């Protein structure tokens, strides 16, 4: 049950990253002009999905605090590497981002490292 704190931290972090990417992709390229950039960013900040992503980041922090009451940091923190794995896989699936052999090898190393670090 204690690992639920870590799982929630990972889930909320991944949700935030994916939600921001979806909304930024939908909004288009950042304008060149300074005033237009500011308005573009303000519109993004007022976007409900972006607000939800920020709320998820806040809730992930609270969940992480819960995890810190149950685990040593050196045990819990390696699990945060799973954020990279999940975001990489979801970005390939949802955004058709390239999933090269090199990236897959990196994901495999992250997974192996997480398992090894969690054992120690």
Whether 33 contacts 103, CB under 8 Å: no
**What is the number of alpha carbons within 13 Å of residue 90 lying toward its C-beta?**
16
Q: What is the mean pLDDT of each run of 10 residues along the chain (120 residues)?
A: 96 98 95 90 96 98 97 91 93 94 92 83
pLDDT at site 26:
95
> Which two three-digit tokens encode residue 60?
């992930």
- CA–CA gap between residue 22 and residue 28 (Å, rounded): 10
Residue 117: the pLDDT is 83
Q: What pTM was estimated for this model as a whole?
A: 0.88
Give the model's pLDDT for residue 1. 86
């Amino acid at each position: 049950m204690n690992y639920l704190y870590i799982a929630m931290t990972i889930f909320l972090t991944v949700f935030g990253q994916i939600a921001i990417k979806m909304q930024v992709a939908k909004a288009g390229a950042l304008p060149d002009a300074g005033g237009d950039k500011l308005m573009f960013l303000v519109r993004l900040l007022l976007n409900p999905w972006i607000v939800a992503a920020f709320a998820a980041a806040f809730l992930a922090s609270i969940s992480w605090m819960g995890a810190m009451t149950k685990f040593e940091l050196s045990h819990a923190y390696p699990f945060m590497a799973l954020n990279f794995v999940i975001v990489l896989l979801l970005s390939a699936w949802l955004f058709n981002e390239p999933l090269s052999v090199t990236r897959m090898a990196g994901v495999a190393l992250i997974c192996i490292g997480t398992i090894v670090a969690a054992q120690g």
